Structure 1
Amino acid sequence: MKLIDYGVREDERPYIEEWSKENNVEVKIVSDLLNPETIEQAKGFDGVVAYQQLPYEPGIFDKMNEFGIHVLSLRNVGVDNVPFDALKKNDIKLTNVPSYSPTAIAEYSVTGLMILLRSMKSMIRKVDQHNFLWAPDIGRELNELTVGVAGTGRIGQAAIKIYQGFGAKVIAFDKYHNDNIEKQGLYVDTLDQLLKESDVVTLHLPSLGKGNTVINKDSIAGMKDGAIVVNTGRGDLINTQDLYDAVVSEKLSGAVLDVYENEVGIFNSDRSGEVLQDKLLSDMIHNPKIIVSPHIAFYTTTAVKNMATISLDSMVDELNNGKSDNEIDLN
């Protein structure tokens, strides 16, 4: 068995090499992303593993079929950048890593919120300039707030436990109820109700499709004055301009954004010394009430190892048994 792994970062390489040695499976590591040019390197291999934020072009799968490769294993959760029609046309199966570390993302949502509640962004900048005055950067306490968790999958459930540990009142919304959360009586009936009752809204939802935002001008109007939005889910859950305007007008008191609707091509790149052409992103970065980070909520050693190894395990299951627990239904 020979596998080829695309878009591999240096922090992933040791885990892939270790897996290859332990499982006695040859894995070619490629730093380049998977595209119509780099797919040529896959000739002679049995399966393709990849991770990237950019769309997978349909022509890639024509080539995979030509090479006799019929499994693509993703090292991430999201599959919205994969053209299912092209996979089905070429009889290619798809797997993902549905859960690489829910706790990592849940912990990060709380980390960002605490930075915001304690005005750490402003305070750090002041201290860097040798300004040691306390005011006006007085903090707020999480234990006094109501946190609304939108989405109660693995990450949302982990977030609920952490927020409860801080003593916050937690409410939740999800189209599909989790029995444990149901037993605790945390669910509200509608997303609008969650937005209305929450001091903090933390988003742990999948993408709802382009243009289907959860946080926008209309929904913000129904939120509490001074509420905070935390998004470690998907950038397109928010109309970012509407959110920014609400923070500037002080309808909302702040936001924590680890994802951004226009992040592709910007996040995980070094733009040191450059003037950002994305004015909205630049404005948010410079606003003391908005915490922006480059899609790193997942980025822990535990999560990176799981992404690297579970994707390879899924590939082996598909090639040896014709089925993996992590296979995606393309219909």
Structure 2
Amino acid sequence: MSKILAYGVREDEQSAMQRWASQHPEVQVDTTDVLLTPENATLAQGYDVVNILQAGIPVGESTLGQLDQMGIHTLTLRNVGTDDLDFDVLKKYQFNVSNVPRYSPNAIAEHAMIQMARLFRHFKQMDLKVYRHNLKWAPTIGREVRKQTIGIIGTGNIGRVAIQIAQGFGAKVIAYDKYRNAEIEAQGLYVDSLDELYAQADGISLHVPGLPENHHMIDAKAIAKMKDQVVIVNAGRGNLVDTDAIIAGLDAGKIDGFGMDTYEDEGGLFNVDWEGKDFPDTRVADLITRDNVIVSPHTAFYTWTATEEMVEQSLDAGLAFITGNTPEQAINY
């Protein structure tokens, strides 16, 4: 019987894991709630496939070398991001690798556009007032989304859904992507450069991968090119944004609102209960206290639909590799 070990499995993933296993009795699926690290890689001894969702924990030589020694050469991810993987080492040990590139793009796009709408309407400021029993309207007056120009950077699966949602509000949408989509092209939404998007957009939402070329694409220089009182939402990858530049833009009043679902140093910080404990990151602590910043701890994807698809597709990919097939989700590297 083939065996898959899934690391870092949350309680909300267990039902999908069990359902898939019951539908595939030829495969033994075991789970652990710990993330894959060099210290616990030996848990995978005797398995054919390692299944992970790393959340900021690197997978490099010290981990992959151990898997190679145990005869394991298949790694399947339950998420789209591959930032944590050392592909040079994966190639060295000839690993089969897959991710889940198309799980419920609606989950992330909805979250991003909801956060953008909340920031335009200053909902956090109003919520904080109401919690204090201050029910006065002024000065917390908002902007209607339909009156704004929304700039979508990245028109892949998620970006295209974000465009549809923004258009549903009645907003003018402009978009930028190095690799243009024919459908978006036909709508005439593309601008020719990021500078052009920065100059026009009242709100900017990021939906590009965290590749080195995109690292800190939103930095002080980019922010300086944006409209005054711009709203920025990052539900893409943490490294797309220079957090210090965002804080400076907020302090200067250049940025009217910031939605942060991903953070460049989120590993070991997000998905941890810090209540009653010393909070280790001063930048995030600062952002959380601001009434024009919404911090969510990488939860844009976190819906039942997306969770089930991530589990099922990653296990499907593992089974395909086991049977000598190449799954649709395989990463060519």
The verdict on a shared fold, with TM-score over 0.5 as the criterion, is: yes
The two structures have a TM-score, normalised by structure 1, of 0.97
Q: RMSD in angstroms over aligned alpha carbons?
A: 1.3
Q: Which consecutive residues of structure 1, in runs of 5 or more, have no partner in the other structure?
A: none
Is residue 2:24 matched to residue 1:26?
no
Letter aligned with residue 181 of structure 2: N
The corresponding residue for 1:299 is 302
Contact residue 258 and residue 297 of structure 1 kept, 8 A: yes
The corresponding residue for 1:153 is 156
The two structures have a TM-score, normalised by structure 2, of 0.96
Is residue 2:215 matched to residue 1:212?
yes
Secondary structure in structure 2 of the residue aligned to 1:170: strand
Letter aligned with residue 17 of structure 1: Q
- The total of aligned residue pairs comes to 330
Q: Which consecutive residues of structure 2, in runs of 5 or more, have no partner in the other structure?
A: none
* Offset at residue 63 of structure 1 (A): 2.1
Within a 5 Å distance, the mapping from 1:173-188 to structure 2 comes to 173-188=176-191
The corresponding residue for 2:84 is 81
* Offset at residue 255 of structure 1 (A): 1.0
Distance 2:332 2:37 in 1: 23
Letter aligned with residue 117 of structure 1: F
Is residue 2:288 matched to residue 1:285?
yes
Secondary structure in structure 2 of the residue aligned to 1:68: coil
Contact residue 228 and residue 252 of structure 1 kept, 8 A: yes
Is residue 2:61 matched to residue 1:58?
yes
The corresponding residue for 1:240 is 243
Secondary structure in structure 2 of the residue aligned to 1:321: coil
Within a 5 Å distance, the mapping from 1:50-199 to structure 2 comes to 50-53=52-55, 54-199=57-202
The corresponding residue for 1:269 is 272
Letter aligned with residue 9 of structure 2: V
Distance 2:21 2:63 in 1: 25
1:239-295 C-alpha deviation (Å, 9 max, x unpaired): 111111111211121111111122211111000023423222111111111111111
* Offset at residue 32 of structure 1 (A): 1.1
Distance 2:224 2:92 in 1: 45
Contact residue 149 and residue 172 of structure 2 kept, 8 A: yes
Change (3 A) 1:211 1:197: closer
Distance 2:79 2:314 in 1: 8
Secondary structure in structure 2 of the residue aligned to 1:253: strand
Contact residue 74 and residue 311 of structure 1 kept, 8 A: yes
1:58-83 C-alpha deviation (Å, 9 max, x unpaired): 12222222222221101111112111
The 10-residue stretch of structure 1 (268-277 or 3-12) with the greater mean CA deviation from structure 2: 268-277
Distance 2:5 2:280 in 1: 35
The corresponding residue for 2:4 is 3
Contact residue 210 and residue 236 of structure 1 kept, 8 A: no
Distance 1:300 1:277 in 2: 27
Distance 2:249 2:283 in 1: 13
Q: Percent same amino acid among aligned pairs? A: 43
Distance 2:112 2:31 in 1: 32
The corresponding residue for 1:253 is 256
Letter aligned with residue 163 of structure 2: I
Distance 1:275 1:189 in 2: 46
* Offset at residue 211 of structure 1 (A): 8.2
1:204-226 C-alpha deviation (Å, 9 max, x unpaired): 01113288312111111111111
Secondary structure in structure 1 of the residue aligned to 2:19: helix
Secondary structure in structure 1 of the residue aligned to 2:108: helix
